[in-house]
Amino acid sequence: MQNRGLIKFIAIIFALVSIYQLSFTFVANKVKSDAKAFAAGKSEKEVKYLDSIGKEKVFNLGFTSFTYDEVKTKQINKGLDLEGGINVILQISVKDVLKQLANNSTNPVFVKSLTDAKNNQKGNQSYLDAFYDAFDANSNGTTLLSSPDIFGNRNLAEEIKMQMSDSDAKKVINKKVEESIESAFRVLRERIDKFGVTQPNIVKLGTSGRILVELPGAKDVDRAKKLLSSTAQLEFWETLKVEEIGNYLGSVNEALKKTEKSAVAEAPKATSKIDSLLVDKTAKDSTATKADVGPFFSKIVSGGQQGSPVLAYVKSKDTAVINGYLKRADIKALLSSDLADTKFVWGKPSEKSGDVVELYALKGNRTNTPPMSGGVLVDASNSYDQTGKPSVTMQMNGKGAKIWEELTGRAYTQKSNIAIVLDNIVYSAPGVSSGPISGGRSEISGSFTIDETKDLANVLRAGKLPAAAEIVQSEVVGPSLGQKAIDSGLNSSIVGLLLVSLWMLIYYGKAGWYANIALVVNLLFLFGVMASFGFVLTLPGIAGIVLTMGTAVDANIIIYERAKEELRAGLNLDEAVKKSFSWTGAMRSIIDANVTHILTGSILYIFGTGPIKGFALTLLIGIITSLFTSIFITRIFLERSVSNGTKLEFANSWSKNWFTGFNFDFLKIKRGTYIFSSCVIIISLVSIFFVNGLDEGVDFVGGRTFQVKFEKTVEPTAIAAELSKKDVFESAEAKIFGTDDQLKITTKYKIKEEGVSVDTEVNQKLYNALKSHFSPSMTYDKFINSYDGKELGVLQASKISPAISADIKTNSFWAVLGAMLVVGLYLVISFRKLGYSLGAIAAVVHDVIFVLGIYSLCYKFMPFHMEMDQHFIAAILTVIGYSMNDTVIVFDRIREFLDGNRKGNMHQIVNDSINTTLSRTINTSLTMLLVLLIMFIFGGDSIRGFIFAMLIGIAVGTYSSLFIATPVLVDTMSKKDIEEIDARHAKANA
């Protein structure tokens, strides 16, 4: 092999980088383990502990060191199915946005179009496109979007002109809707940062208006959903200055000295009202650096300047303690009558301030209503002031302009500030330097960066467009369930790795050791890539890793089987190894087989969501790393063995002749296999469309699912009857899930209604209906919410709205169809004959219908779930990939023999092609079936149906590549081509 040194260098560097990247995961897990031990099962205490050490160095490499915050950003993140927590997809209400943009228009065409868009929305169509279709149909050219009573109103006067065409108006509307979604995204991002979970995740899902939010470790389901779905509260408040509130804070500190432990802190330089209170004036030694400053002041890093709205600067980890002090009744009582309604709030953390935040005091009132809310804003944008510094301009409506003039007038007279507050966080508190501001247009300037002005403008626009965020899909996974998933995944991985490695040793002898070393290196590379790019590991992802073990040895099997053929043909060991790694040897088959696999994996990644993307991504990475290790790492060992003169036969003495010497006439029995397969397909289609149908899960039909663990064995029919009462869900299904004391409960109760109140109502009804099956100590919170060590109640819950399920069904259809077409097109290009593509497609269609038929015929009595869901579609696409893989190997051999000087006619050559590749087919299929069987046994209840589909698919795919694909290839070849092949081979061997 040329450039062997370069390959070794790349492999070593890649291995070192992988080890380096994975080291962060080990360190992060160690820190989390320490946090769990410290918290003793209290999740809030665990989160606070991890927050408190965020800036501390926890990983020292000698030449550099890393804080915990830096370490956790570099680790392999676990998905919610492994970590536990809450996963939510929010749909920003584009309908609300349109109503806001149209100034709540009552135009009948507009109003009807809003309703029709909701009712007529199809498949993956967005609500906005559905609205445009409905508007075009309802207006029929008589009404324009730019009409003054629709979008041509005063609020959009600068952008939508009178008589503007609908196509131009749509561009403006699209832009405004996207701005509102971006604003909502930023608001949600700020909210989840405050929620108190480690490594939250929020992602915009394309241009659909949907936002994915993941809260690993979140326990309070109702609180989380309320936080995420409530509309943004943008408010403007007058602030108090340091000198107006400083004496009160001093009184607070003195009062706390009597009830709290004394605190010793560094005495700061007295530069403000509060700072002067912090200094111990009784200290005789002016150089003393320690002072008993009291419980309250000990938490303050420094005080605000005279005349500033910032009262003090406090470390983020101490804000909860300060809040606790200020909310105490005895502390509130210290406020003078004119300050009784004061609101204390925190500023927004920034990169400049690090982990220190500002404390503000707002002039409150008895009704707790702000002088001005964000609803009066018409527009906001980032710009530059007269000196060229970044600033923010905002425009208010007429009502807001009057209030703003009064507010700015008082602020100017009193030399105070006006705080811009979103969800009780102060984003900015500008002063007024040039008198009352009239007209409703203002500019906020200061020491902003460009990014900060963009963020502030987005915050202001969020108040202008308070679009509802509806929860259209959610999943709650308990931490104990996540730990079980990790355990089952690890068990299946270890057992699968051991059995595959053992089989390679038994069958290939010393060469099997080389394949096993390549397999271990492949796993190291796979995890290294995942860690390097911040990929998330899910339970289906673990399944993908276990499957990678099977595919990792597939290329080695192809190479080894080719080498054995060349040795039997008379080549010496060196020549056989070189031949097996050549394009005319095993490489062409390996590339063709893996390209088809990559194509199906890519389609699965494009159309999949959530954990399915994780499975697809893991599979794709595994294919690429497997190719590198199988082709290069294994070859280095083989060539080294050859150069050292080591005896190498690619088999043990007892396995040398296994799966060899086949001379079966596959084409002779094609009529029988056609009849058998046709009968299976007919039975399957009849069952699917006329008898049993398919057990469509909530992914495809919408609904709510709860995995409930009871204290003792329960009867599913009895539970279903209780939940189907009119005062509960009216209809519900209950099935045993894993053990007899655990049920999977499904209902469509109010699935079309959105809102947190509906979700809470469903949870409450479920608890009320089932609480008689638990001991009296089972409260609603214990039943619904998650906590460490939870073993009873709702362990997992999910909700999928009809809109989401329609999208999933549409995506699934196109994913399966697209996989068939794309791979078929590749085969036409690669083999340059339509017959190869037709044979492969026929085999794949056969396999898909076969698996669907098995699921239709068996789902009613199998002891595990056989639902049609996203996991099932992932299994089908994986089956397509493996079926194509097997078929391509056979087709490559047929092409090789047809292009060569093989003796015999077409019939004989095709049979020889199948027989000579049978050892590889059996070996690969056995390896795959072995790892799938291990996952089926040890992988856990949640993926058992998913694995079963692949088990059936791999077995059927092996059958179809031999008995369907090849006969169809022969039968679709023209009589002229067959005669030409027969004549050419007869002449070559004359």
Strand, helix or coil for residue 315: strand
Average pLDDT, the chain: 81
Q: Work out the pLDDT band at 606, boundaries 50, 70, 90.
A: confident
Average pLDDT value for residue range 103-118: 89
Q: How confident is the model at residue 280, as a pLDDT?
A: 40
Q: Are 195 and 88 in contact (CB under 8 A)?
A: no
> For residue range 693-705, what is the model confidence (pLDDT) as tens digits?
888 877 777 888 8
Q: Work out the pLDDT band at 770, boundaries 50, 70, 90.
A: very high
pLDDT higher for 238 or 267? Answer: 238
* DSSP H or E segment with residue 444: strand 441-445
| Most confident stretch, 38-42, 557-561, 853-857, 863-867 | 853-857
For residues 613 and 871, give the distance between their C-alpha atoms in angstroms, rounded to a whole number.
10
For residues 149 and 143, give the distance between their C-alpha atoms in angstroms, rounded to a whole number.
10
Q: How confident is the model at residue 679, as a pLDDT?
A: 94
Q: Work out the pLDDT band at 361, boundaries 50, 70, 90.
A: very high
Neighbours of 876 (CB within 10 A): 25
Q: What is the DSSP letter of 696?
A: B
pLDDT higher for 757 or 196? Answer: 757
Q: Work out the pLDDT band at 206, boundaries 50, 70, 90.
A: low
Q: What is the DSSP letter of 476?
A: E
> For residue range 270-320, what is the model confidence (pLDDT) as tens digits?
445 555 554 443 334 444 444 567 888 888 888 888 888 999 999 887 888
Neighbours of 413 (CB within 10 A): 11
| Most confident stretch, 548-552, 619-623, 688-692 | 688-692
Cβ-in-10-Å burial (0-12, 13-18, 19+) of 254 comes to middle
Q: How confident is the model at residue 287, as a pLDDT?
A: 42
Contacts 24+ apart (CB under 8 A), 136-145: 136/166, 138/109, 138/112, 138/113, 139/109, 139/113, 142/109, 143/107, 143/109, 144/169, 145/169, 145/170, 145/173
Partnered with residue 431 across adjacent β-strands are: 417
For residues 197 and 221, give the distance between their C-alpha atoms in angstroms, rounded to a whole number.
13
Q: Give helix 539-568 / helix 870-899 axis angle, nearest 10°.
A: 10
pLDDT higher for 728 or 8? Answer: 728
Cβ-in-10-Å burial (0-12, 13-18, 19+) of 328 comes to middle
Q: Work out the pLDDT band at 710, boundaries 50, 70, 90.
A: very high
In order of 197, 394, 440, 733, the CA distances from 437 in angstroms are: 42, 12, 7, 63
Average pLDDT value for residue range 937-961: 82
* DSSP H or E segment with residue 264: strand 264-266
Q: How confident is the model at residue 284, as a pLDDT?
A: 40
Ramachandran class of 163: left when φ > 0, alpha when ψ lies in -120 to 50, beta otherwise: left
| Most confident stretch, 45-49, 125-129, 210-214, 962-966 | 962-966
- Say yes or no to pLDDT of 605 above 90: no
For residues 772 and 778, give the distance between their C-alpha atoms in angstroms, rounded to a whole number.
10
Considering only CA atoms, which of 683, 707, 576 is closest in space to residue 635?
Answer: 576
Q: Work out the pLDDT band at 647, boundaries 50, 70, 90.
A: confident
- Say yes or no to pLDDT of 230 above 70: no
- Say yes or no to pLDDT of 67 above 80: yes
In order of 110, 128, 170, 323, 464, the CA distances from 105 in angstroms are: 7, 17, 17, 44, 16
Q: Are 359 and 311 in contact (CB under 8 A)?
A: yes
| Alpha-carbon torsion angle 939, 942, 943, 946, nearest 10 | 150
| Most confident stretch, 192-196, 417-421, 487-491, 809-813 | 417-421
| Most confident stretch, 175-189, 893-907, 945-959 | 945-959
- Say yes or no to pLDDT of 557 above 70: yes
pLDDT higher for 208 or 590? Answer: 590
Measure CA 758 to chain center: 25
739-747 and 536-537 strand pairing:
unpaired
Using alpha carbons only, what angle is made at residue 363 by residues 361 and 368, rounded to the nearest 5 degrees? 110
Q: Work out the pLDDT band at 182, boundaries 50, 70, 90.
A: confident
Considering only CA atoms, which of 894, 908, 909, 916 is closest in space to residue 965?
Answer: 894
pLDDT higher for 521 or 189? Answer: 521
- Say yes or no to pLDDT of 371 above 70: yes
Considering only CA atoms, which of 554, 522, 515 is closest in space to residue 626?
Answer: 522
Q: How confident is the model at residue 8, as a pLDDT?
A: 81
Strand, helix or coil for residue 659: coil
Q: Does pTM surpass 0.85?
A: no
- Among 183-187, 317-321, 465-469, 632-636, the range scoring the smallest mean pLDDT is 465-469
Measured between its terminal Cα atoms, the distance across the chain in Å is 38
Alpha-helical runs (H) found in 424-478 = 450-464
For residues 386 and 374, give the distance between their C-alpha atoms in angstroms, rounded to a whole number.
26
Beta strand ranges found along 363-433 (DSSP E):
372-373, 377-384, 390-396, 418-422, 425-428
Q: Are 694 and 852 in contact (CB under 8 A)?
A: yes
- Say yes or no to pLDDT of 360 above 90: yes
- Say yes or no to pLDDT of 928 above 90: no
Q: Are 361 and 311 in contact (CB under 8 A)?
A: yes
- Say yes or no to pLDDT of 817 above 70: yes
Q: Work out the pLDDT band at 264, boundaries 50, 70, 90.
A: low
Q: How confident is the model at residue 289, as a pLDDT?
A: 46
| Most confident stretch, 238-252, 743-757, 907-921, 936-950 | 238-252
The single residue listed with the structure tokens 């409960």 is: 745
| Most confident stretch, 124-138, 465-479, 555-569 | 124-138
Beta strand ranges found along 272-376 (DSSP E):
290-292, 300-303, 310-315, 343-347, 356-362, 372-373
> For residue range 441-483, what is the model confidence (pLDDT) as tens digits?
888 776 667 767 776 776 666 554 346 677 777 777 766 665 6
- Say yes or no to pLDDT of 357 above 80: yes
Average pLDDT value for residue range 195-205: 67
Q: How confident is the model at residue 113, as a pLDDT?
A: 92
Q: How many CA atoms lie within 13 A of 429 on its CB side?
A: 25
Neighbours of 490 (CB within 10 A): 12
Average pLDDT value for residue range 902-908: 80
Q: Are 703 and 676 in contact (CB under 8 A)?
A: no
Rounded to 5 degrees, what are φ and ψ at 711?
-75, -25
Ramachandran class of 220: left when φ > 0, alpha when ψ lies in -120 to 50, beta otherwise: beta
Q: What is the DSSP letter of 348?
A: P
Average pLDDT value for residue range 602-625: 79
Q: How confident is the model at residue 276, as a pLDDT?
A: 56
Q: How confident is the model at residue 676, as a pLDDT?
A: 94
Length of the chain: 990
For residues 806 and 208, give the distance between their C-alpha atoms in angstroms, rounded to a whole number.
14
Strand, helix or coil for residue 778: coil
- Say yes or no to pLDDT of 545 above 80: no
> For residue range 380-397, what is the model confidence (pLDDT) as tens digits?
788 887 778 888 888 888
For residues 85 and 214, give the distance between their C-alpha atoms in angstroms, rounded to a whole number.
8
Token pair of 937 as six digits: 């046994």
Q: What is the DSSP letter of 305?
A: P
Q: How confident is the model at residue 359, as a pLDDT?
A: 92
* DSSP H or E segment with residue 4: helix 4-39
